[in-house]
Amino acid sequence: MAHPLDHPTNDLFSFTLIDLQYHYLPSPSFTRVHKHARLFYHSRRRHGHRHHDQLLFKKQLEWTLSKMDNLIVCVTVILLFIILYRSLRRIRSRYSSPLPLGTLGWPFIGETIEFISCAYSDHPESFMDKRRRMYGKVFKSHIFGSPTIVSTDAEVSRFVLQSDAKVFIPSYPKSLTELMGKSSILLINGNLQRRVHGLIGAFFKSPHLKAQITQDMRKYVQESMESWKDNNLIYIQDETKNIGFQVLVQALISLDPGEEMEFLKDQFQEFIAGLMSLPVNIPGSRLYRSLQAKKKMVKLVQKIIQDRRNSSRSTVPKDVVDVLLNDTSAQLTDNLISDNMIDFMIPGEDSVPVLITLAIKYLSDSPIALQQLMEENMKLKKFKSQIGEPLCWSDYMSLQFTQNVITETLRMGNIIIGVMRKAMRDVEIKGYLIPKGWCVFTYFRSVHLDEYFYDWPYEFDPWRWQDRDMGTCNFTPFGGGQRLCPGLELARLEASIFLHHFVTEFRWVAEDDSIVNFPTVRMKRRMPVWVKRRRDP
Ligand code: HEM
């Protein structure tokens, strides 16, 4: 007689097994039961109890399998329940804190056109103001190709800035990320970002660097001012750009003015022209030309790095390259260092000249503030010349009213209007949901011009900073958290030095000019002023 397992479908036992096998075979426990049942069946068969046993066995097996069926059904139900529960929880958490109010605008372009047209106007914050009135300080929008939560709420923005890369990462337009490269400080996250940020932050704060920057800055300012003729028109924006670039390059790679400096300056202009270009990298395109310019600059920096590696370096770093080369971690490769030397120039190159230019603009429009600033600086100048000492960095930084002028310029000028981050997971802040994958735009400008925090916010009023705490979340021109600008002290120092020499050595009359706010802050006519050297005793 044929073995039932040879004709499985004729036999209840085998049918049940095959049925089970068909449905549940992946389960290892079932495979074990199958194996034991077969062994038991064969052993009883060998011992001659075949017919009686077969019936008994069938009954037992049916019973066992029906129990197993129940078990499998129970486990499946429990699993389904767990999955359902977890999904419900996720959905509930998503919608328990609602998405901020607002509208996503048109398909694809969202509200980008309205945002940009406001950004070009005298009141770029009007885009935000309109929505703040309708939806509150935090609202949803769709700008620059991404659904975005806009925060004009100081506390929400502070939370975003303080969060680490598990929650938010920086988000930049595609052309910018292509130009910066993956290892740029502006794009890296986690330990590596903290390391590089910490190293350069500490260096920019070091008394050694401040002393050197003070000397360099004074030298470049004086060289530049010596060439100004009485009753000549000079463009503050161009002059400060020229000086600022030389100071920055000195601090980064200790390059003196000369052929290489001029080469770097030209290539850098070619490079940054592509920051806001279409992300198309084909020969001849804007982005392509900018990338070629970056390659040439990187090559120059790599040569400098190679020379440093071949020579014996002092333990006291003289510039940022030295700081990064002295670091013993294997993470900081030569490629990362050379790429970053160029990327550091992006936030550093334009911002300080714009800060100084705006300060001159606001002072030109506010004679009382200018008078007080001039008197404060003259007093220090006279004192230092009486004791026969040049001004050192702490002298410049001790000029209280000058510092207040710089602070007020940062507040009103909003050189960096805000920063963009991308949410790495659903985040709830102050009852608002920022869904995973959305951008959040922390818009500083609205906070800096909010009359709730600043009386007469559109008035240039340096006196408001007397006895006022700058370290609140209502004042964040340099950002905050782990990405707080490492160049902030350098920026203030450079601005103080320029203002000191300008107001103590010159009188000027400014021509009409206006501030352009987009894509970067600058003066429409580059801030032309007629200068005349002071003849005061
Ligand atoms: C008025 C002048 C300046 C302003 C208003 C300014 C503003 C800012 C802001 C708002 C951030 C934060 C960006 C973010 O959170 O994503 C930042 C970052 C940065 N700034 Fe500045 N900055 C100025 C000058 C400088 C200078 C002179 C340097 C010198 C090289 C510099 C180097 C950097 C770097 C390297 C970062 C990126 C830090 C990081 O992501 O870890 N900045 N700056």
Q: Which residues pair with 147 in a beta bridge?
A: 142
Beta carbon of 444 within 6 Å of any ligand 1 atom: no
Residue type, 185: I
Residue nearest to atom 9 of ligand 1 (CA): 478
Per-residue confidence band for 314, with pLDDT thresholds at 50, 70 and 90 = confident
Beta carbon of 418 within 6 Å of any ligand 1 atom: no
Give the pLDDT score at 311: 86
Residues 6+ apart with CB under 8 A from 459: none
* Alpha helices, DSSP H, located in 387-487: 393-397, 400-413, 444-448
Interatomic CA distance for residues 232 and 235, integer angstroms = 10
Ligand 1 pocket test target in 441, 485, 522 with most atoms within 8 Å of CB: 485
Per-residue confidence band for 399, with pLDDT thresholds at 50, 70 and 90 = very high
pLDDT digits (tens, 9 = 90+) for 343-384: 999 988 999 999 999 999 999 999 999 999 999 999 999 999
Beta carbon of 402 within 6 Å of any ligand 1 atom: no
Q: State which ligand 1 atom lies nearest to the alpha carbon of 252.
A: 30
Give the pLDDT score at 26: 38
Gap between the terminal Cα atoms of the chain: 129
Give the pLDDT score at 323: 94
Residue nearest to atom 43 of ligand 1 (CA): 485
pLDDT digits (tens, 9 = 90+) for 460-488: 999 999 988 888 879 999 999 999 999 99
Per-residue confidence band for 24, with pLDDT thresholds at 50, 70 and 90 = very low
CA angle (402 as vertex; 359, 233 as ends), nearest 5: 40
Residue nearest to atom 20 of ligand 1 (CA): 485
Percent of the chain with pLDDT over 90: 71
Beta carbon of 186 within 6 Å of any ligand 1 atom: yes
Give the pLDDT score at 94: 56
Percent of the chain with pLDDT over 70: 86
Backbone φ, ψ for residue 147 (5° rounding) = -60, 135
Task: Answer yes or no: is 485 a known binding residue.
Answer: yes
The residue-averaged pLDDT of 144-162 equals: 96
Q: State which ligand 1 atom lies nearest to the alpha carbon of 354.
A: 1
Per-residue confidence band for 45, with pLDDT thresholds at 50, 70 and 90 = low
Per-residue confidence band for 82, with pLDDT thresholds at 50, 70 and 90 = confident
Compute the distance from residue 486 Cα to the ligand 1 centre, in Å.
6
Residue-averaged pLDDT of the chain: 87
Q: Which of 442, 417, 419, 418 lies closest to 432 in space, CA to CA?
A: 442
Q: Which of 436, 195, 454, 481 lies closest to 331 in space, CA to CA?
A: 195
Residue nearest to atom 30 of ligand 1 (CA): 348
Compute the distance from residue 298 Cα to the ligand 1 centre, in Å.
21
Residue nearest to atom 12 of ligand 1 (CA): 479
Beta carbon of 110 within 6 Å of any ligand 1 atom: no
Residues 6+ apart with CB under 8 A from 327: 195, 199
Residue type, 411: R
pLDDT digits (tens, 9 = 90+) for 85-119: 676 666 555 556 689 999 999 999 999 999 999 99
Beta carbon of 352 within 6 Å of any ligand 1 atom: yes
Give the pLDDT score at 195: 95
Provide the token pair at 129: 């103001």
Beta carbon of 170 within 6 Å of any ligand 1 atom: yes
Ligand 1 pocket test target in 441, 478, 499 with most atoms within 8 Å of CB: 478
pLDDT digits (tens, 9 = 90+) for 255-296: 999 999 999 999 999 999 988 888 899 999 999 999 999 999
Strand ranges, E, within 362-438: 418-423, 427-429, 432-434
Interatomic CA distance for residues 427 and 167, integer angstroms = 7
Residue nearest to atom 18 of ligand 1 (CA): 485
Per-residue confidence band for 408, with pLDDT thresholds at 50, 70 and 90 = very high
| Beta pairing class for 427-429 and 439-443 | unpaired
pLDDT at 20 over 90: no
pLDDT at 304 over 50: yes
Q: CB-side exposure of 38: number of CA atoms within 13 Å? A: 14
Compute the distance from residue 195 Cα to the ligand 1 centre, in Å.
16
pLDDT digits (tens, 9 = 90+) for 444-457: 999 999 999 999 99
Residue type, 308: R
Q: State which ligand 1 atom lies nearest to the alpha carbon of 200.
A: 35
DSSP letters, 309-358, are HHSPPPSS-SSHHHHHHH---TTS-HHHHHHHHHHHHHHHHHHHHHHHHH
Beta carbon of 491 within 6 Å of any ligand 1 atom: yes
pLDDT digits (tens, 9 = 90+) for 114-132: 999 999 999 999 999 999 9
